[in-house]
Amino acid sequence: MRALLRILVVIPLAYVAACLAAGLVFVVPLLMAAGDPDFAMEGFIVGFGFVMAAYGGMIAAAPTLVAVLLAETFGWRSFLFWTLFGGAIGLAVSLAGPDVGMGAAGFILPTHAVAGCVGGAIYWLIAGRNRGRSPPPLRRSSEVTRFQLPRRFRAVS
């Protein structure tokens, strides 16, 4: 039951949260560059973040599904794995996307990579930490023993 709940609820929610966090990476520099924008401009920029989150989510869905299946099978739960995997997807999306010219390439390539790394880190934070780890067995109250320090750490009486 716990595995089914994880597959049907936790993993999809973690993926959506990772996509939203990756979209936020595109919004923050735009908000900082806009200075003090009016309300309509802020709405446009935040809407752009949601569009980028949906775009990234659609493109990264297939490779992420493969990574999730591998991680579930082999019990991989490394922060570094998910962060680097997200960055690799971001770089692949940036390199496979349309040619935007050299002026914008200096901004787009690292932004996609950072967005992927942030998305991977958020996914790990929500769903990746406990991947493949079985819950500890429950003990009966009669089996629970009191913890005792080794002799060298006990106070001398």
**How confident is the model at residue 131, as a pLDDT?**
60
Total-model pTM: 0.73
**How confident is the model at residue 133, as a pLDDT?**
54
123, 89 in Cβ contact below 8 A?
A: no
Q: Place 76 in a pLDDT band, splitting at 50, 70 and 90.
A: confident
Q: Does residue 21 fall inside a structural domain?
A: yes
Helix (H, G, I), strand (E, B) or coil at 136: coil
17, 110 in Cβ contact below 8 A?
A: no
Helix (H, G, I), strand (E, B) or coil at 27: helix
Q: Does residue 54 fall inside a structural domain?
A: yes
Q: Judging by beta carbons within 10 Å of its beta carbon (0-12, 13-18, 19+), is residue 154 exposed, middle or buried? A: exposed
Question: DSSP secondary structure string, 62-99?
Answer: HHHHHHHHHHHHHT---HHHHHHHHHHHHHHHHHHS--
Q: Does residue 141 fall inside a structural domain?
A: no
Q: Does residue 37 fall inside a structural domain?
A: yes
State how many domains the chain has.
Answer: 1
Q: What is the domain range of residue 26?
A: 2-131
**How confident is the model at residue 145, as a pLDDT?**
59
Express each pLDDT in 84-133 by its tens digit.
999 999 888 888 766 655 555 566 778 889 999 999 999 999 887 766 55
Residue in the block written with tokens 């001398």: 156
Provide φ and ψ at 130, rounded to 5°.
-100, 15
Q: Does residue 144 fall inside a structural domain?
A: no
Residue 67 to residue 76: CA distance in whole angstroms: 10
Q: Does residue 142 fall inside a structural domain?
A: no
Q: Judging by beta carbons within 10 Å of its beta carbon (0-12, 13-18, 19+), is residue 22 exposed, middle or buried? A: buried
Q: Does residue 79 fall inside a structural domain?
A: yes
Checking if the pLDDT of 57 tops 80, the result is: yes
